[in-house]
Amino acid sequence: MTAAPELSEARLAQAETIDALSTYQFGWSDSDAAGTTAKRGLDEDVVRGISHLKNEPEWMLERRLKALKLFERQPLPTWGADLSEIDFDNIKYFVRSTEQKVTSWEDLPDDIKYTYDRIGIPEAEKQQMIAGVSAQYESEVVYNSIREDLAQQGVVFLDTDSGLKEYPDLFEEYFGSVIPAGDNKFSALNTAVWSGGSFVYVPKGVHVKIPLQAYFRINTENMGQFERTLIIVDEDAYVHYVEGCTAPVYRSDSLHSAVVEIIVKKGARCRYTTIQNWSTNVYNLVTKRTKAEEGATMEWVDGNIGAKVTMKYPSVWMMGEHAKGSVLSVAFAGKGQHQDTGSKMLHLAPHTSSEIISKSISREGGRSSYRGLVQVNPGAHHSRSTVKCDALLVDTKSRSDTYPYVDIREDDVTMGHEATVSKSSDDQLYYLMSGGLTEEEAMAMIVRGFIEPIAKELPMEYALELNRLIEMQMEGAVG
């Protein structure tokens, strides 16, 4: 493609714009008091130790031990990103940052408070934007509050460890019911050593009007974070759960392997939003899946900006008639990053529908891959599915892949898949600049426009954060 000479500079400015989106903003770390004492490597003793420290019921210990065996037996996946550099013996599987959980901000240790101040948790809470805050710091939830009116409605929003203690029956019924330990190597690992995460129960007919938010941070070098989240949305209820991740930069590779299980009952709706911004030495290998019953709706909004390697395919199993699943996904792959993301939609009942919209930007040698599966099983007649993938490549050394799988075992279904890979067009730039915008402004606008369908689905403060990142870089570029 030929470009006018003055526009080749614009391409450079565009690279900076993209750069701004994924510049890691939270690259500090606190003194590491809790982490250095934790043991590296994984064996039965570590698993028993975790379970003992948490004072868990016997059945949970048995699950953990069984999962450990499955983990040891299963091979690493041969597809997707390169995982060969993960050294499972050099990872700390459990770190406890404070012995006691605290219920108010003032009671948090100073260094933890400082870290959170930098992300802005207290402000967010003051603004009443957050219905309940569950901040995970070094494997365990240390700060947890929930608004009283929600509690009065019967909404449960706890860390997963407390959930297990306070609601053992619900827990035993649903834990591992959506993602069994043996589902894949990393779900087995998580089941063996899980710690922290959120437990949410929304009773029948209750609409939680404001998003439930949890902030996660990894703060110990080489420490795996294995949070386990279980969300149950009872009939005709609604909840929007928001998970956001930021992590300090460390020298060697760290592992994050979460499991998120969601059950959306008849007629209910759940939205789960993630903005993942791990530092670029983290392996982010996450299993997320929902079972959606009759008439239920599940929406995943998934942003992947950080991490060295991400493998994440939020899934919806549409179990009942007229169930719906949707995934909105945006990924940024910068230098040294591989974002292998997508979605799995399993149509298991008639009249179910699914939609996947995936957008990715690759730059500076980064690689983004869309990898998805749409499966229509026998009996799921009149199902519909559409998949749309757009990728923006901004230089000649980055890579974008699309690996969509469509597996149809039923007639009377309608499927569509589309993908386009493009380079930001010089025509678009020219048009915007002819309207009086500078090159930098025009570039920022093109990038914002590209991610707009995702950004507009984000809670306000997240969308603001995303836009602010673009603007900050633009200011520098113009100056």
Task: Tell me which stretch binds other proteins (CB under 8 A): 30-38, 73-81, 217-225, 448-456.
Answer: 73-81
399 is a site residue for other proteins (CB under 8 A): yes
407 is a site residue for other proteins (CB under 8 A): yes
Q: How far is the CB of 51 from other proteins (least distance, A)?
A: 34
Phi, psi at residue 14, to the nearest 5°? -65, -40
Task: Tell me which stretch binds other proteins (CB under 8 A): 60-68, 79-87, 208-216, 456-464.
Answer: 79-87
| Dist CA 246 CA 236 (whole Å) | 33
Residue 209 or 397: the one with the smaller Cβ distance to other proteins is: 397
Q: Is the dihedral of CA 189, 196, 94, 49 positive or negative?
A: negative
Task: Tell me which stretch binds other proteins (CB under 8 A): 96-104, 259-267, 420-428, 470-478.
Answer: 420-428
Q: How far is the CB of 410 from other proteins (least distance, A)?
A: 8
State the virtual CA torsion across 80, 82, 84, 88 in degrees, nearest 10. Answer: -70
Residue 438, burial from CB neighbour count under 10 angstroms (0-12, 13-18, 19+): middle
78 is a site residue for other proteins (CB under 8 A): yes
336, 416, 449, 476: residue in contact with other proteins (rule CB under 8 A): 416
Which amino acid appears at position 390 of this protein? Answer: D
| Dist CA 252 CA 430 (whole Å) | 44
Exposure string (b/e) for 358-381, b if CB count within 10 Å is 16 or more? Answer: bbbbbbbebbbbbbbbbbbbeebe
Task: Tell me which stretch binds other proteins (CB under 8 A): 147-155, 176-184, 288-296, 392-400.
Answer: 392-400
421 is a site residue for other proteins (CB under 8 A): yes
406 is a site residue for other proteins (CB under 8 A): yes
Residue 426, burial from CB neighbour count under 10 angstroms (0-12, 13-18, 19+): middle
Q: How far is the CB of 255 from other proteins (least distance, A)?
A: 21
> How many residues lie near other proteins (CB under 8 A)?
38
| Dist CA 150 CA 385 (whole Å) | 35
| Dist CA 70 CA 192 (whole Å) | 9
Site string for other proteins, 423-462 (x = CB under 8 A): x---------------------------------------
Residue 340 or 441: the one with the smaller Cβ distance to other proteins is: 340
Q: How far is the CB of 401 from other proteins (least distance, A)?
A: 5
400 is a site residue for other proteins (CB under 8 A): yes
Contact 96, 140 (CB under 8 A): yes
69, 266, 417, 448: residue in contact with other proteins (rule CB under 8 A): 417
Q: List contacts with other proteins (CB under 8 A).
A: 1, 78-80, 82, 362, 391-409, 411-423
